[in-house]
Structure 1
């Protein structure tokens, strides 16, 4: 199959159009949330909430009319979405539950403190059935057991293991506290017990590689955070999978300008390629991008294609930080023009803009000021803030 040749600008436009971050909004309200997550496979969940949780930040930049309660409703009331393991902890469409049956089975076969957990699992199910849902605080099993990095209570270890096994799901969350429920009471049997469409581990890995290519827009055959969570995917079989997918016509090869590496996208995205090959002008939008946004999963790829070097510095010691604790990339048109540090002060109901940094190669700062301020206003509404406090000059 013949490769597609794109300029660097066209490659940027392709990724952004695919992501719904350029041109007219293609993801609208609740349907748009589900449509985007279906396209992306999953969005990564992280509980830290400085100016919105990561999953909420991903959606606010793409989905017109998005609100935080919209995601909560789709997860815990309508149950069209579910939170479970994919790329680390993630949110995906409930119809994809069947693809992770081998992962759930693996948690039945091995894990820490299995004997202790198996001994109390029936008791925990009885408590949850009686109450409807329960957190670790409701399960009075406080003996310490071996767990992850540090010992934890048997209550927590058992609930999390039963959740990983698929016996329990998250009923809802109150802040960061998870309330668990019996999976069979909230997921239809035809979904809960559906057979895995992938018959072999090789088929499963190939499916997940395709899923991650679709999540970013394009990927190359290199080690990448975009491939996190695909168990057993080593360099040798990753190479085989990419080669086979290309030979079978399940991915399209893309070359970009003078970049020596090959990139790959999904065949269903060929219409987007045709758009960028025939049209140079698309509606310019300015958006604040989540730290763990799907398009940033492969940061080396983003650096090569966009010339943007981003590191999430939340776990970087203060004195070693170049920017700040929780900094969002700022996208305008087909370029990352800067970074913004924003805090949602829930006590004061105030959105505080602490810092803004333009990229070194971005000139005409004043030209971007209006679109950035407009984005701040939208972001304030997204965070339900009544007031905006600017702690820095923009432009």
Structure 2
């Protein structure tokens, strides 16, 4: 099959990417079924424990899912077991049905950690404790031994249980805030899932699957290095390029040519054809621009160079920068309105615990028209509902940057009837 190329204008490419992620003019996902639909399409969403306004995975979903509540995600993870915490693009949340496909990842973890003497010695202790006592936090087991670990020295129980989790012998029963309560995988996941063979036993088939999965995670992606490829240690740049070419020749990827992009980008064929048949132009022209607050590790931001080239928006997550050298805030959320990034917003809490807009940085040239004010007010109304608060305080910096922000962040606009 011939390698297919398709030219999209910058407007078309932006709209394809946003529609693909459910960030177009209307929310198309709702409830737990909508959460599952999005995560199946994207493959995974990234987990991060920082929680200034919900964790990253929850922020990803609140931007897409109508009336999203964090409890819905918890139910899918720890009651329904349709989703699982695991390694994909770093620590992620992905469909439990994909568990067999990550057998290589788990085997690599067993090879890496299982031979550490302190870990190997404590594995039987963990197994016996979980059998006898049920789900446990690592702090509920103690040996008095510490060992060098990822970020800092760790207790033997913590290192061992984390290792057993990474190689798939343990899974998360539930979380107490960010602390994992572990249980034996055999107690929580079906035997047929645990025993299922790797669906991609050949290395090259597995690599092609990972490439397609990662393209699906972003929607539009290049083989050049970006954060989108974190977690695919086995794929070097030349190999990615070869697999992109092969998948394009097989008709599974389409090369997208767009003015301003400095490298070839690709979309999954079915995703692009579905969008081309969806009546995008009419939908975008007939509905008002929607405003969304995006997570800092949102799938649409995984390739930040693409976002810079396609949207003229340079986003950097400054959470690990010292405060003195940050350009914006500690945990800023990109503000998307229509098909443009118009501002950055930092959510958080005041010293007394009140939810607040701690920072607001409009993009150069941003103008708040009557329509854009209404769109922003609707977004803040949804955000307050997601946070479970009636009011957002507005910091002095944010109010100075946009004097109308106090009113917009706390108004109760009526929604147009469908």
For this structure pair, what is the TM-score category when the shorter chain's length is used for normalisation? over 0.9
Say whether residues 1:24 and 2:29 are aligned partners: no
Return the offset for 1:258: 4.7
Q: Which residue of 2 aligns with 1:273?
A: 276
Q: How does 1:1-395 map to 2 (within 5 A)?
A: 1-111=3-113, 114-269=116-271, 270-275=273-278, 279=282, 281=285, 283=287, 284-344=289-349, 348=353, 350-364=354-368, 367-391=371-395, 392-393=398-399, 394=402
Between 126-135 and 371-380, the greater mean CA deviation after superposition? 371-380
**How many angstroms does 1:282 deviate by?**
5.5
State the distance in 2 between where 1:299 and 1:366 align.
30
Task: Name the CA shift for 1:8/1:276 in 2 (closer, same or farther; >3 Å).
Answer: farther
Structure 1 residues 346 and 318: alpha-carbon distance in aligned structure 2, compared to 1, 3 A threshold: closer
Q: Give the CA deviation at 1:142.
A: 2.6
Contact map agreement 1:13 1:334 (CA 8 A) in 2: yes
Q: CA deviation at 1:36?
A: 0.6
Shift of residue 373, structure 1, vs aligned partner? 2.4
Gaps spanning 5+ residues in structure 2: where?
A: 405-418
**1:115 positional shift:** 2.3
Is the contact made by 2:260 and 2:309 (CA closer than 8 Å) also made in structure 1? no
**Structure 1 residues 337, 6: CA separation in 2 closer, same or farther (over 3 Å shift)?**
same
Q: Distance in 1 between matches of 2:158 and 2:12?
A: 49
The 1:366–1:26 alpha-carbon spacing in structure 2 relative to 1, beyond 3 Å, is closer
Preserved CA contact (<8 Å) 2:349 2:358:
no
Deviations 1:138-179 (A, max 9, x none): 111230123224332111110011001100001111012111
CA distance in 2, matches of 1:42, 1:117: 29
Report the alpha carbon displacement of residue 277 of structure 1 after superposing the two structures with TM. 6.9
| Partner SS for 1:159 | helix
The answer on whether the counterparts of 1:358 and 1:365 sit within 8 Å (CA) in structure 2 is no
- Residues 3 and 373 (structure 1), Cα distance of their counterparts in 2 relative to 1, 3 Å cut: same
In 2, the alpha carbon distance for the partners of 1:282 and 1:135 equals 52
Distance 1:11 1:275 in 2: 14
Structure 1: give runs of 5+ residues left out of the alignment: none
| Cα distance change on mapping 1:114 and 1:133 into 2, 3 Å | same
Q: Distance in 2 between matches of 1:293 and 1:160?
A: 25
**CA apart distance, 1:355:** 2.0
Distance verdict in 2 for CA 1:347–1:381, change over 3 Å: farther
For the 8 Å contact 2:13–2:258, the answer to whether it is kept is yes
Q: Please tell me the root mean square deviation across aligned C-alpha atoms, in Å.
A: 1.8
Cα 1:135/1:27, change in 2 over 3 Å: same
CA distance in 2: counterparts of 1:73 and 1:344, whole angstroms: 26
Contact 1:344 1:385 (8 Å CA) reproduced: no
* Offset from partner CA, 1:266-316 (integer Å, 9 cap, x none): 111112134467545263211100000000000001101111100011111
Deviation at 1:112, TM superposition (A): 7.3
Spell out, residue by residue over 1:3-55, the C-alpha distance to the aligned partner (whole angstroms, 9 max, x if none).
11111011000001000011322211110011111111000000000011000
- Please give the alpha-carbon distance, in whole angstroms, between the structure 1 residues aligned to 2:164 and 2:38: 29
